């Protein structure tokens, strides 16, 4: 009887640890991976915006006509991006509840980028994460 209670208690402890620690860690790792995929999915558009801004000397209109095709990633689900006329890029991933804003700045004919994302805990350091 005592051994059976100890076995049940041990199984309950293992289940508790799995539910309270392992599963959230796994979800966090998946969200981080999806955030990185969302950010890297904007690279081609960033290059197009930068080229247009450097050519014209202004960010105004640098995003005009720049498109990023939506992607259905088998691991992370739907990913979508929108490029504004000023070159700012917004991206989101619904299944992981992620959103990023990638904003250009033009200084001395050089384009630099600022990235901010939500939730911060899922974002890499390069996009405002911890």
b/e map 90-100, b = 16+ CB within 10 Å? ebbbeebebbb
Contact assessment for residue 97 and residue 119, using Cβ atoms and an 8 Å cutoff: yes
Residue 23 is predicted with a pLDDT of 47
The rounded mean pLDDT for the chain is: 88
Confidence (pTM): 0.79
**pLDDT for 95 beyond 80:** yes
Number of domains the chain is built from: 1
Q: What is the pLDDT of residues 6-57, one digit of tens each?
A: 666 666 666 565 555 554 556 788 999 999 999 999 999 999 999 999 999 9
Full residue range of the structural domain in which residue 45 is found: 2-127
Contact assessment for residue 92 and residue 114, using Cβ atoms and an 8 Å cutoff: no
Q: How far is the C-alpha of 36 from the C-alpha of 89, rounded, in Å?
A: 15
Residue 109 — very low, low, confident or very high, per pLDDT cuts 50/70/90? Answer: confident
């Amino acid at each position: 009887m005592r051994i059976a209670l100890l076995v049940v208690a041990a199984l309950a402890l293992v289940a508790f640890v799995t539910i309270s620690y392992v599963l959230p860690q796994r979800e966090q790792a998946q969200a981080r991976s999806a955030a990185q995929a969302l950010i890297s999915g904007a690279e081609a558009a960033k290059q197009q915006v930068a080229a247009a801004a450097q050519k014209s000397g202004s960010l105004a209109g640098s995003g005009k006509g720049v498109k990023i095709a939506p992607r259905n990633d088998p691991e992370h689900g739907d990913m979508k991006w929108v490029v504004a006329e000023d070159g700012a890029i917004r991206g989101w991933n619904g299944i992981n509840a992620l959103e990023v804003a990638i904003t250009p700045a033009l200084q001395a004919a050089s384009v630099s980028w600022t990235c901010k994302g939500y939730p911060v805990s899922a974002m890499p350091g390069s996009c405002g994460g911890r």
